[in-house]
Amino acid sequence: MNNKIKLSSCFWVAMMLSSLCANAAKQDFQQEQDQPNIIFILTDDQGYGDIGRHGHPYLDTPHMDSLHDASVRFDNFYVSPSCSPTRAALMTGMHEFRNGVTHTLIPREHLYQDVTILPQLLQSAGYTTGFIGKWHLGNSKGYIPADRGFDWCSTNVGGPRKHFDVEMIRNKKRFPTKGFREDVFFDEAMAFMDEAGDQPFFLYLCTYSPHTPLDAPEALIEKYKAKGLNDTHASYLAMIENIDQNLGRLTAFLKKRGLEEDTILMFINDNGVTEGLDVYNADMRGSKCTIWEGGSRAMSFWKWPRHWDPRTVNNLTAHIDVLPTLCELAGVAIPEELQSELQGYSLLPLLNGENWAHDDRYLFHNVGRWPSGSAASHKHAMGAVRQGDMLLLRSVPCADPDCAKYSSQCTTLRGVRKGQTKATYANGTAQYHWGVSAADRWALYDVKKDPGCLYDIALQHPERVSTMSATYDQWWDEQYPVMLARGGDAGDPDASRNAASRAQQHAAKVALQKKAAKTAEALELTHEK
């Protein structure tokens, strides 16, 4: 009996050890296999509605449509109302008021230097990291991508102003190219992936399209002009279709290299629509740089064929959720000092089709872009808070007389009040899309029932207005000192004007250099003769 017990005990111990070893091996294998490659595509000034699947009446986007159909689609996903703040939130998991990026102009587009950002965290988990395209989070030492965790850095000389035959800078080395800029960017993306080899990689691919100045391959422009669109709208949509074509090239590359199943492909736009506003806006009110839905609602497609079933997710989600999500997927242990600063939540439960514990969350927006040094007076100018289907907002210019001296979003709103449409991306619809709300109170909208924000229901729901506005005030008061400390109101009130002046001086200098070079070349040819 004792021998039987001993034998039985030995058998079960052996089985348990075997099982434990097998499970450990399986876990190690799964960890190895499940550490996905990550490709994050971010487009510039493409709106939520600028895709065939969202009902656009003119756009041909078969590859975006295919990605939409194969993805987990976050249909209530929000970014900031303009470019640099969104990029900063994506990289930090913090609202722009916490990371210091409240504008797109120097110095307020410089991302707070002392915070660890997404590529640095992924590097710590063994990822090879690549950046291609538009950065816009600081162009000085300590702020550029190469100093913020990217192993591979590639962009073009001239930024958005140069479209064809661009000179590229890859890891500080310059080389000429032929063709359209975004085609070159996607070529660089595929070169990066080839160089990454067997290492898991993170690729942050940021297009300049369809940001102004508008241009695209001529055949695409003519295609949309043939549909009856003017030069501006045709060029804008042509730039988007070019991105779509390149997305198709990238997808084919992943299949050819056997990478598709083990790669997360993300596609997000950075803010609301611009030059296509009067063509189509998915029935939403507002555009880039407004506090309305059309200013900050974004596409958010996440595809990982091996793990996620395609479906639409309607939970309220945002750019600040990207970092904690990707860190969890990559197995990154977020440092405690950073964890305490994060304002987003991991989306992994939603990606896996599970329950999520954050449906009562609040999301806060402020257009920012005030003249440097005047943040305090813009607390209730173009601010919003969202909870569930309820959107509470104020779309009013500030009351600060000094602000009126400088160009800002308040300037645009004051102009709209007077019937002007300049700088609103709209022809004849500025009053609607920029929509100046009542000066003395908050406006409230049920965006599920009223996506166009036509019916202000604030007076019917005073308690809801009181609660949500108090929450916004509390949020502002908590973030304000952090924002000041991290450069969110840096510079003097002339900062924007000075930045524009410096840009003009630089352009004039370049023009003189080109002229001098041509003169020297002509003299050299004459001398040779």
Instruction: Tokens for 248, please give them.
Output: 């198709």
**Per-residue pLDDT tens for 243-286?**
999 999 999 999 999 999 999 999 999 999 999 999 999 999 99
Closest CA to 315 of 268, 354, 287: 354
**Conformation bin of residue 125: beta by default, left when phi > 0, alpha when psi is -120 to 50:** alpha
**Per-residue pLDDT tens for 487-498?**
999 975 444 444
What element of type H or E holds 119?
Answer: helix 118-124
Cβ atoms of 296 and 86 within 8 Å: the answer is no
What element of type H or E holds 393?
Answer: strand 390-394
What does the pLDDT read at residue 494? 47
Count of CA atoms in the C-beta half-sphere (13 A) of 163: 14
Higher pLDDT, 198 or 342: 342
Work out the pLDDT band at 28, boundaries 50, 70, 90.
very low
Distance of alpha carbon 205 from alpha carbon 133, whole angstroms: 6
Cβ atoms of 486 and 96 within 8 Å: the answer is no
Question: Is residue 36 over pLDDT 60?
Answer: yes
Question: Is residue 503 over pLDDT 60?
Answer: no
Average pLDDT (370-394) is: 95
Question: Is residue 508 over pLDDT 80?
Answer: no
Question: Is residue 515 over pLDDT 80?
Answer: no
Place of tokens 């929000």: 78
Tell me which of 79-88, 221-230, 438-447, 512-521 is least confident.
512-521
Question: Which residue type, as a one-letter code, is found at position 464?
Answer: R
What element of type H or E holds 206?
Answer: strand 201-206
The set of residues, in sequence order, having a beta carbon less than 8 Å from that of 280 and lying 6+ positions away, is 49, 50, 55, 56, 57, 58
Tell me which of 61-75, 156-170, 263-277, 486-500 is least confident.
486-500
% pLDDT > 90, the chain: 80
Cβ atoms of 61 and 51 within 8 Å: the answer is yes
Question: Is residue 203 over pLDDT 70?
Answer: yes
Question: Is residue 13 over pLDDT 80?
Answer: no
What does the pLDDT read at residue 370? 94
Quickly count: other Cβ atoms within 10 Å of residue 359's Cβ. Answer: 11
Distance of alpha carbon 199 from alpha carbon 37, whole angstroms: 9
pTM: 0.87
What does the pLDDT read at residue 407? 84
% pLDDT > 70, the chain: 88
Quickly count: other Cβ atoms within 10 Å of residue 7's Cβ. Answer: 10
Question: Is residue 228 over pLDDT 50?
Answer: yes
What does the pLDDT read at residue 405? 86
Q: Are strands 77-78 and 317-318 parallel, antiparallel or unpaired?
A: parallel
Cis bond upstream, residue 397 (ω within 30): no
**Per-residue pLDDT tens for 128-154?**
999 999 999 999 999 999 999 999 999
Closest CA to 434 of 281, 289, 312: 289
Question: Is residue 18 over pLDDT 60?
Answer: no
Distance of alpha carbon 495 from alpha carbon 106, whole angstroms: 7
What does the pLDDT read at residue 526? 62
Instruction: Tokens for 462, please give them.
Output: 């005073």
Fold of the domain spanning 34-351: Alkaline Phosphatase, subunit A (3.40.720)
What is the widest separation between alpha-carbon atoms in the chain?
Answer: 112
What does the pLDDT read at residue 179? 97
Nearest-Å Rg of the Cα atoms of the chain is 25
What does the pLDDT read at residue 30? 36
Distance of alpha carbon 94 from alpha carbon 475, whole angstroms: 13
Question: Is residue 481 over pLDDT 50?
Answer: yes
Task: Give phi and psi for 152, each to the nearest 5.
Answer: -125, 125
Work out the pLDDT band at 514, boundaries 50, 70, 90.
low
What does the pLDDT read at residue 521? 67
The CATH number corresponding to 363-485 among 1.10.260, 3.40.50, 3.30.1120, 3.30.70 equals 3.30.1120
Question: Is residue 32 over pLDDT 50?
Answer: no
Cis bond upstream, residue 210 (ω within 30): yes
What does the pLDDT read at residue 442? 97
Higher pLDDT, 422 or 322: 322
Give the chain's mean pLDDT: 89
What does the pLDDT read at residue 397? 94
